[in-house]
Structure 1
């Protein structure tokens, strides 16, 4: 199984997903997993090397042969998936976590860079036998934008670490209305929209507090926006937190907010919030609505709409939100055990089909 970076080296949804899935496949699904990515590897995984290499060096390093016999090669990031040749009998599975080229375009990359990435994506995807996505919307992107046959796409929702993100029994920060947003500070994450919505929130509930967790290219711009709107007393940008610090941050939260604008595969962070008992207000973007589907449809708001987002946050602080027990029960339907078993079942089906095709 090939990832991008190990989570301890670079925090992010893709990296956490890769690491948790690989670990769970080995622990609960009896799959022998050889997991490799850049950075400091988990004790049971391998590393291609340090992350601070040039793109070309990382590309070449990721083409190393793992040296073991493999039924399935499951890849999670386009750049680290080109191979000198396909091995006979090996099945190539692609976890499509999002359109790499479009994500680059959303962050302001040049048209040349975006075009190169899109061509590269099409090249490597043409070599794959099957695709896994986290939500129906990304299945549609694969089919519409990359001409992947729908029969070669499986939708398997992600999991959440229910032991790490456990429900807090104590009162959540007393009676203080507290919101948390855990996101990379990039434009498509919509943090600026959340900050603008906060002006409405504090006009209605002056004691409300917002904690923004994460780092990214917009950090200075967002800090300046907080100051310009006069919200410095009610908004804190905490930077990156460790997993234990993040768990404690959720203990302070009445709610969490995921205000993404585009290209959101699912939003593991919403599940982590729900697992602690804090409802997640999410935008109607990518797979985010799937994270609260069946819990409370009013937790989904229009993207890029500060007024709608602020109004929903206010109503949540005033009591219109699922209870902590309801949130926890909903999160428990997204265990990593369930996700790992679904992957193992799919792998088995693909291997059986390969064997049948070889006979016929």
Structure 2
């Protein structure tokens, strides 16, 4: 099908300017880039009336994410019915199974593509959700994915989860990595100027981790790694940007290890400062221990010209190995992270320079590149029709 004529209805989670998260950032980037790839965009998300104001009515907020779940599900269903009545789309694009599920009868007969950002039920279980909640989430996901004629995954690693855990035929799965606005992160300032702007020390090696403060992110390992690394690089400074339920626990860990001068929890860093923070860092690190489909922060760091070390978990190696295999740590855990960071900061591990990082991000992950690949999958789904 000619992508010039595709009308899409994009079902998201939240609107990124209102709620910050990796899924929301990718949705926001993609819906902004798809029109340039010949895909008209309308969408619904959990959000305020401001969403419609921000987007000229293209994306509608169906109510606050703070509402009770039953109210949100009913609101999502009403919003989907209203949008389809207004203009029947050629394809339904589901980015979040929870808000797609209540409208499955409303969207019947329209080809559907699911953007699989990760096993939602399994992630909840890792974070401590009860087994009933996990089973309910798995049922929702299974129902939505079964309807989809094509499913987009961020990496081969997540493609394997989709086929093995959800029984989806590999013929329906397409790998399209996440997208980032490379220009937004490619600031015309030097690392020294970025440090000056953010009031960070000029002479110290800075390691940056941008993560939600939750269990599977490996932040405990990272803090323990700094305790080991400090013997080799005494003035190392680890900055952890993000918020989450582990904040107090992580701060206690820092205090008890005597790392107050070497590890700082920055809390949530707003978007307008994030690019400068990446630029200010000597190196970024992604210490994930479980369930990482892609790691958008890897690409954000590269787009800023800052190399990033990743653990060999999920889709992280796929995101960086094409640039340099040296960016992939040999294992998870404090010892491997400390060894890798030590080698990188002392120069014994060769890393790509800023120009190579930026060029790789632009060629492989820029919004315009990824939007064209997504548009092609939508065309396939429309040609294939609906899956029952």
Per-residue deviation at 1:52? 1.1
Deviation at 1:236, TM superposition (A): 0.9
Alignment of 1:1-360 (within 5 A): 1-26=10-35, 28-40=36-48, 41=51, 43-44=54-55, 45-64=59-78, 65=81, 66=83, 67=85, 68-82=87-101, 83-85=103-105, 87=107, 89-167=109-187, 169-172=189-192, 173=195, 174-319=202-347, 320=349, 321-333=351-363, 334-354=365-385
TM-score by length of 1: 0.94
Compared with structure 1, are the counterparts of its residues 85 and 171 closer, same or farther at alpha carbon in structure 2 (3 Å cutoff)?
A: closer
Choose 2-11 or 37-46, whichever is displaced more: 37-46
Distance 2:308 2:99 in 1: 33
Which moves more between the two structures, 115-124 or 338-347? Answer: 115-124
5+ residue gaps, structure 1, are none
TM-score after normalising by structure 2:
0.87
Cα distance 1:88–1:192, how it changes in 2: closer, same or farther (>3 A)?
closer
**How far, CA to CA, are the matches of 1:305 and 1:50 in structure 2?**
38
Unaligned runs of 5+ in 2: 1-9, 196-201
1:41-79 CA-to-partner distances (Å, cap 9, x unmatched) read 271222111111112211221112123211100011111
Paired residues of 2:120 and 2:137 also in contact (CA < 8 A)? yes
Give the 3-state SS of the residue equivalent to 1:154 in structure 2: strand
- Given that residues 168 and 251 in structure 1 are in contact (C-alpha distance below 8 angstroms), is that contact kept between their aligned partners in structure 2? no
Q: Distance in 2 between matches of 1:6 and 1:306?
A: 35
Aligned length: 355
CA deviations 1:137-178 (Å, max 9, x no partner) are: 111111111110111111111221111100555244544200
RMSD of aligned alpha carbons: 1.8
For 2:188 and 2:343, the matched residues in 1 are separated by 22
Higher percent of residues as helix:
2
